Amino acid sequence: MTALTIAGVTKSYVDTPVLSGVDLHVPHGSLTAVLGPSGCGKTTLLRLIAGFADPDAGTIAFGETVVFRPGHSTKPQHRRAGYVPQEGALFPHLTVAANITFGLSRADRRDGCRVSELLDLVGLASALSGRYPHELSGGQQQRVALARALAPRPEVVLLDEPFSALDAALREGTRRAVAAALRSAGATAVLVTHDQAEALSLADQVGVMRAGRLVQLDSPAAVYTRPFDTGVASFVGEAVLMPATVSAGQAVCALGRIPVTGPDEGDLHVMIRPEQLVIHTNGDRRGVPARVREISYFGHDASVRLDLLPDGPSVVARITGTSLPALDSDVHLTLSGSAVTYPG
Amino acid sequence: MSTGTLLPTRDRPTRRPGRERLPLPMLTAALAVTLVMLVPLLFVAVVTVETGAAEAVRLIVRPRVGELLWNTARLAVGCMLCCAVLGTVAAWLVERSNLPGRKVFNVLLVAPLAIPAFVNSYGWVSLLPSAAGFLGALVIVTLSYFPFVYLPVAASLRGLDPAHEEAARSLGHGALRTFLRTVLPQLRPAILGGALLVGLHLLAEFGALQMLRYPTFTTAIYDQYQSTFNGAAANMLAGVLVLCCLVLLMAELRLRGKARYARTGSGSARPIDRIRLGRLTGPAVAGLVALSMLALGVPLFSLGYWLAVGSSSTVDTELILTSTGTSLTLGALGALVTTAAALPVAWLYVRRRGRVSTLLERITYTGSALPGIVIALALVTIAVRVTPGLYQTTSVVIVAYLILFLPRAVVNVRATLAQTPPVLEDVAHSLGAGRSATLRRVTLPLIAPGLGAGAALVFLGVVTELTATLLLAPTGTQTLATQFWNYSDSVDYGAAAPYAALMVLISAPATYLLTRAVRRESAS
């Protein structure tokens, strides 16, 4: 496995630009999630890396080897890029074993010794090797698809929304198994997804795409706590935004005087995450007053919409599901941690 | 005729036509096939120009042509109408009413397809020599062709959402009004499509009509050809016939475009409540039994009778064996060549949908909509004039089969190819398999059922093909169909019977496949 480096990749279909000037570096043996809404160009980026289509401009390199530059494009069958599509796309006419060994040489196919090793790697019993794809669950199919992609020891592994077709119950287990297999194979991997929880929980590095551009490339924690702009902030999680006057690391806003990170001063916007808001009940009068307007109870936690009193904006707080305030009751709010500032 | 769904394509750039390159080998192959398909049309155009306007007018505008036109037209219209009514009523009874024995009737109503029309008319004429002329032809040809309407209408009825009918009933409509106002409009594409197919078959029909002594364009062209070999008169008659076919073909293509809008949903999720026939049960059963008796019973009884009678005279076992062998060999060769030719056309159409690939695919239909006699005339003339070395060889016969039966293969290959997601080919490439390895290891195994079904249908067509074989087969080569024709033409019904029986036997399994193919095509 090697690092993957993409520089200045641009692609249009007819006259519609799909990707404009994308730079991305995926370090050797790490997993990068490319996160973005539908139609942002992330699947196109993956297909360009795999070689199914060619960029209009830019370069793509696996380690030292340039697989695409204008005027030269290595064919997909010679790139050694493992590809795991949506829903796995196992060859329906082949058994699990034959699917896994598809990319191996004829001698290795006959030998078949890697099958159980690879099934083990993705956490499946080797008893499955004689089954056909339609006899497997969706999660098993997805794991076999990964084993198939890993079998020829590819330079990079590309995963296109591999979990989006799975039931919620299967999704989490499959995600863990896939991430573990990628790590123990030491794979350099790019995973494309529109699910922010998936990107944040699995990846070493998250690239946020919007309208054909890679707007932020950072660690999961950095993407969540210090998003590049308010758009990214709202996309990677729920965000409370409000105007504020900032000076000397303090902001004055509807939540009172709160600490902020960042050097900017003046009339700005601040962003806080709902779980940073703490609700005080039973006459605890710390912070600012607010009235409970709506409670969405999810079990493990709850999302509470409050109007700041007397006529402030509406904010959302995320609290544990064990101690809910009463609807329409008056409470007080404080902030834990600090807010992030953005130009107003 | 839609192409079925692939994997969900969320967030995937649409594959725009022209953006992805057309692979040169596939394109070249498809172009070559298309060119062959255009040969008969080009032939008609060229000979018309060669003949010159004045001579063409002299040959076309004469009472004989008017008579043939009238004969052909009234038979075509009459037969299309009768088939539409019979096919639709029978399909409704089997699919929507509580008719007893529906499963048996379903088989009986499709089975006439296994009996070639010329064998059917042999069955009638040999028992009832007075069965001739317009009325005889109308009855016998309708009995042979009504399954072409029955099959698509039955498939359509099966796919209709019963909710529409329930809604109409709840709005106060009775059974008959519900059928006329909600069901019939939705069946129109199937009925019209089936009827147009009947029309095209009828324009091409030669054997059955010749035997019934009912002169139409095909029989007249044949007689001209026999007497003058390559007269301009035969060619001009062929030109008029081609124009008639093109009219029907245009109607069919237009209809096919519209049919897509007419189709709703992917079928009923729950069993429908069948309409109780009540007092009408008796007449309905009697009617379908009578229809089956006429369409199946008469020709089969006749065959059995002549087999029994004929066996008392000498049966040339060796001739039977050699002509069976020739039929099987030609069938296998035709199926092989035609299926191979279908592959590039279908692949381009499904994987690189665009103006070029759609045009190529459409042209394959145009060629085969032309009657076998026109195709044979074209190939004879070209072989004699351009490639004398090929004249009177098997390869010319195989080319005729290719032109006649290519759509059967294309439709089947296309349907299975469309059910094979292109992402599988992408994955194979990413695993190191090149274009030919991907074709061999992924695409071909996945479309094998379609290739097989297409090949079987071509095989069926070849074994029961009469006209082109009669004109093109090398001297001394006899197939089951031509040998049968020789005997029955000289009114030796007993000697002809074993050949007809063998053709029916060989056709039966492929007919079953045809039934399934039509069902799948209408349902997709």
pLDDT in tens, B464-485: 899 899 888 888 889 999 999 9
pLDDT score of B260 more than 90: no
Instruction: Give the other-Cβ count within 10 Å of A138's Cβ.
Output: 16
Residue A89 has its nearest CB partner, among B14, B421, B429, at B421
**Residue contact B428–A102, C-beta within 8 A:** yes
CA distances from A90 to A94, B166, B276 (A): 8, 41, 47
Please report the number of interchain residue pairs, chain A to chain B, with beta-carbon separation below 8 angstroms.
90
What CATH number does residue A128 fall under? Answer: 3.40.50.300
Q: Which domain range does residue A18 map to?
A: 4-234
pLDDT at A86 (0 to 100)? 85
Nearest to B106 by CA among B116, B97, B95: B95
- Note the Cα B398 to chain centre separation in Å: 17
Residue B7 has its nearest CB partner, among A81, A89, A148, at A89
Residues A112 and A143 in one domain: yes
What CATH number does residue A309 fall under? Answer: 2.40.50.140
Which residues does chain B have within 8 Å of residue A103's beta carbon, measured at their own beta carbons?
A: 431-433
**Residue contact A148–B431, C-beta within 8 A:** yes
Residue A13 has its nearest CB partner, among B13, B429, B432, at B13
Residues A262 and A158 in one domain: no
Residue of A74, A80, A86, A132 to mutate for B, most B C-beta atoms under 10 A = A86
DSSP A220-231: HHHHHHS-SSHH
**Residue contact B427–A89, C-beta within 8 A:** yes
Give the whole-angstrom CA distance, residue A217 versus residue B415.
Answer: 44
Mean per-residue pLDDT, B217-228: 84
Residue of B430, B436, B446 to mutate for A, most A C-beta atoms under 10 A = B430
Domain boundary among A191, A211, A234: A234
DSSP A36-100: --TTSSHHHHHHHHHTSS--SEEEEEETTEEEEETTEE--GGGT-EEEE-TT----TTS-HHHHH
pLDDT at B412 (0 to 100)? 82
pLDDT at B266 (0 to 100)? 43
pLDDT in tens, B309-361: 875 556 788 888 999 999 999 999 999 999 999 999 988 888 887 888 888 88
Count of domains observed in chain A: 2
Residues A207 and A248 in one domain: no
Q: Chain A, 244-283: which have a CB under 8 Å from a chain B CB? A: none
Chain mean pLDDT for chain B: 83
Amino acid letter, A122: V
Domain boundary among A234, A263, A286: A234
Q: Taking a C-beta distance cutoff of 8 angstroms, is the pair B413, B454 a contact? A: yes
pLDDT score of B230 more than 50: yes
Q: Which residue on chain A is closest to B432 by alpha carbon? A: A77
Give the whole-angstrom CA distance, residue B300 versus residue B293.
Answer: 9
Contact of A42 with chain B, judged by CB distance below 8 Å, is answered with: yes
Mean per-residue pLDDT, B42-55: 86
pLDDT at B314 (0 to 100)? 64
Residues A177 and A255 in one domain: no
DSSP B75-143: HHHHHHHHHHHHHHHHHHHHHHB--TTHHHHHHHHHGGGGS-HHHHHHHHHHH-TT--HHHHHHHHHHH
3-state secondary structure of A263: coil
Nearest to A157 by CA among A186, A198, A195, A133: A186
Which residues does chain B have within 8 Å of residue A102's beta carbon, measured at their own beta carbons?
A: 428, 431, 433, 441
Residues A121 and A210 in one domain: yes
Residues A248 and A274 in one domain: yes
Nearest to A102 by CA among B431, B181, B381: B431
**Residue contact A81–B430, C-beta within 8 A:** yes
What are the pLDDT tens digits along chain A (344 aa)? Answer: 689 999 999 998 877 889 999 999 999 999 999 999 988 889 999 999 999 989 999 999 999 999 999 989 999 999 999 999 988 889 999 999 999 999 988 888 887 778 988 998 888 998 999 999 999 998 899 999 999 999 998 989 999 988 887 888 888 888 888 889 898 888 899 999 999 999 999 999 999 999 899 999 999 999 999 999 999 999 999 999 999 999 888 999 998 899 998 778 889 999 999 999 999 988 778 889 999 999 999 888 899 999 998 887 899 999 988 888 989 999 999 999 999 999 87
Residues A134 and A204 in one domain: yes
Residues A176 and A51 in one domain: yes
Residues A27 and A106 in one domain: yes
User: Chain B closest CA to A81's CA: distance in Å?
Assistant: 6
Residue B423 has its nearest CB partner, among A85, A92, A165, at A85
Residues A257 and A230 in one domain: no
Residue A77 has its nearest CB partner, among B11, B429, B446, at B429
**Residue contact A91–B442, C-beta within 8 A:** yes
Residues A123 and A222 in one domain: yes
User: Chain B closest CA to A210's CA: distance in Å?
Assistant: 13
Give the whole-angstrom CA distance, residue B209 versus residue B215.
Answer: 7
Q: Which residue on chain A is closest to B431 by alpha carbon? A: A103
Q: Chain A, 151-180: which have a CB under 8 Å from a chain B CB? A: 151-152, 154, 158, 161, 164-165
Which residues does chain B have within 8 Å of residue A166's beta carbon, measured at their own beta carbons?
A: none
**Cβ-based neighbours of A241, under 8 Å, separated by 6 or more:** A230, A233, A234, A269, A270, A271, A342
pLDDT score of B267 more than 60: no
**Residue contact A52–B421, C-beta within 8 A:** no
Residue A93 has its nearest CB partner, among B7, B434, B445, at B445
Residue B16 has its nearest CB partner, among A13, A103, A165, at A13
pLDDT in tens, B364-423: 877 777 888 889 988 988 888 888 888 888 999 999 999 999 988 888 888 888 888 889
Beta bridge partners of A308: A290
Q: How confident is the model at residue B493 (pLDDT cuts 50, 70, 90)?
A: confident
Instruction: Give the other-Cβ count within 10 Å of A103's Cβ.
Output: 24
Domain boundary among A202, A234, A266: A234
Buried b (16+ CB within 10 A) or exposed e, B368-387: bbbbbbbbbbbbbbbbeeee
Give the whole-angstrom CA distance, residue B485 versus residue B474.
Answer: 16
pLDDT at B269 (0 to 100)? 47
Residue of B6, B11, B436, B442 to mutate for A, most A C-beta atoms under 10 A = B11
- Is the ipTM reported for this complex over the cut 0.85? no
Give the whole-angstrom CA distance, residue B56 versus residue B54.
Answer: 5
Beta bridge partners of B285: none
Residues A265 and A224 in one domain: no
Q: How far apart are the first and last CA of chain A?
A: 44
Sheet-wide strand order for A4-13: A16-26, A4-13, A57-62, A65-69, A72-73
Q: How confident is the model at residue B13 (pLDDT cuts 50, 70, 90)?
A: very low
